[in-house]
């Protein structure tokens, strides 16, 4: 007899997501498992700095406050909770959950997964954590855990672990695991799968999108949906957008399986229901990714407001004045950006003003601290007419640097720690496969020639962008077969460089994903040393895709 699908929901896509989402998901419909994703590259740095101040810290305390309101409800409804809110200290959070359950008188079993922490092996790092797979989570659930807390696992592991436990999947069942990885990737960012941050957000009521859930089947296929009556929308576009988020080519590597994104097939399965099927999987690569966070130095910034006439001349003056003032001990890195938000003959002072942003970095806090703030403030009565700043510069603040390193699977002690204290080691994968690029697929037939019109790319294509360390990815997809035929030929890596000028001197790789009618670009180095270094106006490249959609191209009139 065919087993019923496993209903897995999400209630958090990042540390700081909607607080009430856990209760909303528990009360909004039927579920078997709820997952909460709290970790990102920047979050690990924030938790590492928390741990420097307090060795007992290092986990997402918000989760405990959410659970205090909802643990009894989850227990009554038989919903398992799996979360990576353990961050740098999963054992500490597991203890906190047990203490909470005891205080509330709720009989739950709490287990946790550890072994990801490799900080001791990387001197100078604030945090170095391997991305573990889902089988430690599966072991905890098979042993009867009601709540499973992890440290750094892959985001998709929060879904693959429960699916493996429920259906009895074992290592090596690559197609099934790959299907669950794809479903997990869709769920991991919460409402980004249900209309949040969506290029075509005006097509539904996205004021308060409901959180997503996946109905996962024993063969690894799934249906993405949401609870009835919740806001937002689930369609092929919202799911495509999330599939492209922070990915690259056709192979999406993980510690348990490499999922072939180029095999994913999506179809509308009814209102707010998208079926995912056909996903192929391969053996994982021979190494595990380790996210390494360290302090990069100190930074400071000041934003000068330039109003009215002579914007360029005013900017030149203050640049020259501060360059002279800092000449004795110049910062190691100085970056100026003039943002022309001003308009001619403006009817408000704000719209008559431009912003001149100065960012400085150095290993010495004093050079970017008092030296800069003093030099900037002293210009108050001695610079361009109308001198003022958005806020006075303060002390230099530390910034982080993120990088990826890779270690063999055997370098970690992946461990499931059960409620009774038993420690169950997870064996590394028996089979691995080096991660090679997928052969370039054939291009579709080009559209017949016809009249073109100069128009924004976003009229015929959606996009979503994000960050991975210092790199950014921009996934662009077409909504019709005809638009795909045009997009695949028109939006080359070279055209991307033309449309996004700051990428012109950087490596840009284009990946074709015909099943999704999508092209995915990876731009290396555009984010410098990563989000924590804040080297760019949009440090996580969240809006890079929307900038691309706003650029004008010669688009066939038949598509408009």
- Whether the predicted pLDDT of 530 surpasses 80: no
* DSSP state, residue 153: B
Task: Tell me how far apart the alpha carbons of residues 187 and 237 are, in angstroms, rounded to a whole number.
Answer: 14
| CA-angle at 356, arms to 351 and 359, nearest 5° | 145
Sign of CA dihedral 141, 275, 174, 187: negative
- What's the whole-number mean pLDDT along residues 449-454? 95
CA distance 226 to 75: 21
**pLDDT given for residue 391 in this prediction:** 86
The answer to whether 346 and 337 have CB atoms below 8 angstroms apart is no
**Any residues with CB less than 8 A from the CB of 27 and at least 6 apart, and which?**
73
Work out the average pLDDT over 424-445: 94
In this prediction the pTM is 0.94
530 or 214, greater pLDDT: 214
pLDDT for the residue 532: 61
Under the banding of pLDDT at 50, 70 and 90, the label for residue 30 is very high
Task: Tell me the pLDDT tens digit for each residue of 354-407.
Answer: 999 999 999 999 999 988 989 999 999 999 999 999 988 888 888 888 889 999
pLDDT of residue 98: 98
pLDDT of residue 87: 97
Q: Is the pLDDT of residue 446 over 80?
A: yes
Instruction: Write down the pLDDT at residue 527.
Output: 86
Q: Is the pLDDT of residue 470 over 90?
A: no
Average pLDDT over residues 248-261: 96
Predicted local confidence at residue 111, as pLDDT:
98
Torsion angle, CA of 156/43/437/428, rounded to 10 degrees? -60
Q: At what angle do helices 61-77 and 21-28 cross, to 10 degrees?
A: 10
**Distances, alpha carbon 227 to alpha carbons 30, 57, 66, 231, 489, in Å:** 8, 34, 20, 9, 39
> Does the pLDDT at position 535 exceed 70?
no
Q: Using pLDDT thresholds of 50, 70 and 90, give the confidence band for residue 3.
A: confident
Average pLDDT across the chain, whole number: 95
Q: pLDDT tens, 490-523?
A: 999 999 999 999 999 999 999 999 999 999 999 9
Nearest to 86 by CA among 37, 33, 135: 37
pLDDT in tens, 274-321: 999 999 999 999 999 999 999 889 999 999 999 999 999 999 999 999
pLDDT at 531: 61
The pLDDT value recorded for residue 514 is 97
**Residue 164 Cα to chain centre, angstroms:** 24
SS3 of residue 212 by DSSP:
strand
What is the spatial distance between Cα 169 and Cα 160, in angstroms, rounded to a whole number?
Answer: 9
Q: Are strands 110-114 and 80-83 parallel, antiparallel or unpaired?
A: unpaired
């Amino acid at each position: 007899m065919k087993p019923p699908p496993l209903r897995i929901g999400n209630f958090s896509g990042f540390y700081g997501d909607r607080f009430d989402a856990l209760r909303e998901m528990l009360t909004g419909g039927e579920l078997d498992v709820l997952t909460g994703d709290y970790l990102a590259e920047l979050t690990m740095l924030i938790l590492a700095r928390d741990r420097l101040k307090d060795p007992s810290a290092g986990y997402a305390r918000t989760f405990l406050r959410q659970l205090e309101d909802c643990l009894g409800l989850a227990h009554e409804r038989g919903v398992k909770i799996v979360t990576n809110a353990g961050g740098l200290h999963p054992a500490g959070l597991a203890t906190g959950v047990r203490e909470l359950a005891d205080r509330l008188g709720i009989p739950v079993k709490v287990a946790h997964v550890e072994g990801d922490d490799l900080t001791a092996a990387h001197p100078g790092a604030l945090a170095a954590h391997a991305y573990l797979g889902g089988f430690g989570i599966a072991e905890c659930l098979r042993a009867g855990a009601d709540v499973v807390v992890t440290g750094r696992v892959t985001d998709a592991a929060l879904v693959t672990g429960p699916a493996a436990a429920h259906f009895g999947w074992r290592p090596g069942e690559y197609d099934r695991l790959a299907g669950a990885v794809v479903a997990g990737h869709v769920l991991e960012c919460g409402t980004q799968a249900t209309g949040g941050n969506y290029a075509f957000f005006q097509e539904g009521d996205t004021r308060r999108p409901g959180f997503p859930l996946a109905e996962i089947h024993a063969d690894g296929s799934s249906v993405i949906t949401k609870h009835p009556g919740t806001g937002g929308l689930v369609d092929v576009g919202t799911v495509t957008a999330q599939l492209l988020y922070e990915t690259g080519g056709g192979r999406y590597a993980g510690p348990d399986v490499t999922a072939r994104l180029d095999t994913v097939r999506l179809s509308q399965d009814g209102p707010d229901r998208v079926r995912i099927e056909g996903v192929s999987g391969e053996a994982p690569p021979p190494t595990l990714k380790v996210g390494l966070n360290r302090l990069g130095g100190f930074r400071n910034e000041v934003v000068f407001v330039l109003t009215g006439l002579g914007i360029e001349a005013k900017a030149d003056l203050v640049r020259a004045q501060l360059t002279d003032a800092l000449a004795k001990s110049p910062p190691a890195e100085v970056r100026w950006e003039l943002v022309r938000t001003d308009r001619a003959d403006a009817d408000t002072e704000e719209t008559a003003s431009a912003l001149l942003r100065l960012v400085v970095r150095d290993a010495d806090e004093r050079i970017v601290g008092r030296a800069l703030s003093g030099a900037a403030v002293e210009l108050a009565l001695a610079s361009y007419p109308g001198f003022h700043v958005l806020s006075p510069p303060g002390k230099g603040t530390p910034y982080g640097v993120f990088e990826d390193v890779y270690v063999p699977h055997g370098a970690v002690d992946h461990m499931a720690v059960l409620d009774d204290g038993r420690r169950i080691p997870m064996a590394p994968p028996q089979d691995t496969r080096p991660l090679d690029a997928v052969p370039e697929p054939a291009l579709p037939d080009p559209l017949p020639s016809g009249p073109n019109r100069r128009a924004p790319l976003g009229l015929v294509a959606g996009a979503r962008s994000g960050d991975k360390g210092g790199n950014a990815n921009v996934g662009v997809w077409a909504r019709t077969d005809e638009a795909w035929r045009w997009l695949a030929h028109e939006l080359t890596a070279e055209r991307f460089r033309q449309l996004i000028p700051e990428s012109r001197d950087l490596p840009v790789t284009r990946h074709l994903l015909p099943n999704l009618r999508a092209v995915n670009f990876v731009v290396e180095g555009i984010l410098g040393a990563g989000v924590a270094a804040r080297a760019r106006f949009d440090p996580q490249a969240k809006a890079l895709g929307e900038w691309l959609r706003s650029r004008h191209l010669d688009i066939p009139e038949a598509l408009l």
